[in-house]
A = this chain, B = another copy of it.
């Protein structure tokens, strides 16, 4: 259902949305949307959307609670040569929601990675359960928007859903194995690496570059994102020394020099990939005077085919001069990033994903039993009495309703009640004045500590509580 004018537009729209779902249920139909762009399935093929372009076939599934983001991403993906298995615009999620699609896509053999733009999650508990199971099958990458206060407000007027707290989502994502990206750009940087590359066996990266500066930039990025620049074995270094020109750098980053022909790249890549201490490879190419980017890209693709179990990513840097190479890499399933930093960041997340998978046993998400009725009662009474502050006893009731252990406390409204309460609690006791007019009890002598007998309680009541200070019109 593509049309807008439902939950996102207010209470009238919500009524319409409920009626719509009822009609669907009655006739055994499932519903995507409303207020969405529709859905695309590349392999059926089916384009049940009003997106102006149809994406290339690929193995990334993309779910989005923003239809416009889909049109942008599809248009971008055509140029970048990125392909999708399914694209789903979720809209208001009146019936089918993000959880349903994550579950279905985790079982879809065409889909290698699920990438999701999420503003809010509907069925929290079910989402956690499904996400935990699904992310064992394949990586789920998300960008959660509405994480700032202002962003959350904007979400509620967009799809009418609650954005929820940043911390809560972070905890849920962390524990269910969902990988959170920091930006749309990172979401797809990761999706491309995760959908095309094997998981590396460790964090040790080799860099082959035809330029010193970008090699250093990659080195810094390793340190920033928690990858190691691999220590090459003496055998590898010797092989490189024998095979490369004298001025090359044989330590990592391996600098094949600015005049490097495709052959020299091939030799360096093959030697680096054979080193057991190297878990993944980044190939950097800057278009210098005699560089042949497209032929170098062909060598990258071949090297990648020879060593299938190690991830290879590229940073062919530039514009027109590298565009042919970038297209070739894309089509062959080797992600290219315009700058080395983004390549390193993607590989780093892929390495960490591998480590997390090895750990297997994930934490569980705790749920707490809360006496919601009890809390509501206290708050409604305060509301009825037009109070903006809760009495101490009321605050304690709320804490207790949330399962927190608190000191026992009884409200006494006479001297006799006070003695009785003190006996029930057991000596020693503390006495505090309770009044909605008094916020700072000690200022008015309204706190007595360490009372050890009936007499002391009676005395305290007489002396302090029976003669209210001027600011204290009523004693509790």
Report A's interface with B, CB cutoff 8 A. 4-5, 9, 50-53, 64-69, 71-73, 75-80, 117, 119, 143, 145-151, 154-155, 157-159, 183-185, 210-217, 219-224, 229, 247, 249, 251, 253, 255, 258, 286-289, 317-323, 338-342
Q: Please give the distance in Å from A75's CB to the nearest CB on chain B.
A: 3
Contact, CB under 8 Å: B211 / A66: yes
Partner of A52, one of B52, B73, B80, B321: B321
Determine the chain B residues whose CB is within 8 A of the CB of A224 once the complex forms.
148
Given A68-B211, A183-B339, 5 additional A-B pairs, CB 8 A = A4-B247, A75-B317, A77-B319, A150-B219, A158-B215
What's the Cα separation between A65 and B217 when bound, in Å? 12
Contact, CB under 8 Å: A71 / B287: yes
Determine the chain B residues whose CB is within 8 A of the CB of A288 once the complex forms.
52, 67-68, 71
Q: Please give the distance in Å from A10's CB to the nearest CB on chain B.
A: 10
Contact, CB under 8 Å: B66 / A151: no
Whether A213 touches B287, Cβ cut-off 8 Å, given contacts A184-B339, A321-B75, is no
Contact, CB under 8 Å: A210 / B68: yes
Pick the most buried of A73, A154, A214, A221: most chain B CB atoms within 10 A of its CB.
A154
Whether A183 touches B151, Cβ cut-off 8 Å, given contacts A71-B286, A77-B319, A319-B77, is no
* Chain B residue nearest in CB terms to A224: B148
Contact, CB under 8 Å: A76 / B220: no
Partner of A68, one of B5, B80, B213, B253: B213
A–B complex contacts, Cβ < 8 Å, 9 sampled: A69-B211, A72-B286, A76-B338, A79-B320, A143-B217, A148-B219, A151-B217, A154-B216, A184-B341
